[in-house]
């Protein structure tokens, strides 16, 4: 193992799957909350954090955008995980044996067609990996879990049915974060820059701030707003753009953005993951 990477959830969670796929040489460190993940890296007990930011079906992950600006961490990579859902049961269990399936409510909702077709009732669990762990301890072939294949391996469960999700493109995007901001990498492909900002309290400030990206040919791939400190008047924006801060067109766009904002915080510069395409 070369280093440690922290994630939220139990061993076998989809965040653990992301760690396994993107950083297979690192030791995964499970944490109870996103705040715990961030603090584990900040204290030096882990080298990297694996944090989910958005899902292709359910949109952005709650609370993450609020936590990132004050985390003290910086994005060094992105990773995409296809959420393949499997029906896991105790050794020797068959599909005909299964009467109920346990998982997080989000995953249960993604497998409605399969569960209905096979007359399997649902049981809501706290999370996916925890459900797999519970079913393994229970030892009842009539009860199964919906989770990742990695969870099945960890808790000694058989895969009764593979890839049972209703939609075949369900994907979660993760940000890999470090204590250090890395501006040196360029790579052979396109770079992405993530940042947050607040606009000045003047008419059409956001419209004018965005104009610099359009006129300088900078592609903005994400722009999301969210409230700050529970205020209805203070709005912060999270943005992803294609390019590096040293690129001249990005410099010009950011200079124009600066004129119309009260605060800009660079979160990270990193290569675009080929899986994004």
What domains can you pick out in the chain, each with its CATH number?
4-83+170-178 (3.40.190.10), 86-161 (3.40.190.10), 191-272 (3.30.70.260)
Residue 172 annotated among the catalytic residues of the structure = yes
Which two structure tokens, joined as six digits, stand for 233? 């008047």
In this prediction, residue 16 carries a pLDDT of 96
Catalytic residue among 7, 34, 114, 174: 174
- The secondary structure element, H or E, covering residue 35 is helix 34-42
The count of other CB atoms within 10 Å of the CB of residue 235 is 13
Supply 179's token pair: 């204590």
Q: Do 59 and 251 meet the contact criterion of CB atoms below 8 Å apart?
A: no
Alpha-carbon span 179 to 42, nearest angstrom: 7
Q: Which residues contact 126 (CB under 8 A, 6 or more apart)?
A: 104
The encoded tokens of residue 42 equal: 């900040």
- Phi, psi of 86, rounded to the nearest 5 degrees: -120, 145
Q: Mean pLDDT per 10-residue run, the chain (277 residues)?
A: 90 95 96 96 98 85 84 95 94 97 90 95 92 96 96 96 89 95 79 92 86 96 82 80 95 94 93 82
Radius of gyration for the chain, computed over Cα atoms and rounded to the nearest angstrom: 21
Out of 40, 172, 193, 261, pick the active-site residue. Answer: 172
Q: List residues bridging with 237 in a β-sheet.
A: 197, 225
Residues 6+ apart with CB under 8 A from 101: 87, 108, 111, 115, 120, 121, 122, 123, 143, 144, 145, 146
Counting DSSP H helices and E strands in the chain, the numbers are 9, 15
Task: Examine the residue annotation and report whether 237 is marked as an active-site residue of this protein.
Answer: no
Alpha-carbon distance of 159 to 244, in angstroms, equals: 44
Structure tokens that stand for 186 in this block: 């360029």
Indicate the DSSP class of residue 142: T
pTM over 0.75: yes
| 221 vs 219: CA distance, rounded Å | 6
């Amino acid at each position: 193992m070369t280093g440690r990477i922290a994630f939220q959830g139990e061993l076998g969670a989809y965040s653990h799957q992301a760690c396994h796929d993107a950083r297979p040489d690192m030791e995964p460190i499970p944490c109870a909350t996103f705040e715990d993940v961030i603090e584990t890296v900040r204290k030096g007990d882990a080298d990297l954090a694996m944090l989910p930011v958005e899902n292709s079906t359910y949109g952005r992950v709650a609370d993450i955008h609020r936590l990132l600006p004050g985390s003290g961490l910086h994005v060094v990579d992105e990773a995409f995980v296809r959420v393949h859902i499997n029906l896991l049961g105790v050794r020797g269990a068959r599909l005909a044996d299964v009467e109920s399936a346990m998982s997080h409510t989000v995953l249960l909702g993604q497998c409605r067609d399969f569960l209905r077709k096979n007359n399997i009732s649902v049981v809501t669990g706290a999370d996916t990996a925890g459900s797999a762990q519970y079913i393994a301890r229970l030892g009842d072939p009539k009860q199964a879990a919906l989770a990742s294949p990695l969870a099945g391996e960890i808790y000694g469960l058989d895969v009764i049915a593979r890839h049972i999700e209703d939609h075949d493109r369900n994907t979660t995007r993760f940000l890999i974060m470090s204590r250090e901001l890395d501006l040196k990498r360029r790579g052979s492909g396109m770079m992405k820059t993530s940042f947050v900002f607040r606009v000045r309290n003047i008419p059409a400030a956001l419209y004018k701030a965005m104009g610099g990206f359009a006129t300088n040919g900078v592609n903005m791939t994400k722009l999301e707003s969210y409230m700050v400190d529970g205020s209805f008047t203070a709005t912060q924006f999270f943005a992803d753009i294609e390019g590096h801060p040293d690129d001249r067109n990005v410099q010009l766009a950011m200079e124009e953005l600066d004129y119309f904002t009260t605060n800009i915080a660079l979160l990270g510069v990193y290569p675009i993951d080929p899986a994004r395409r």
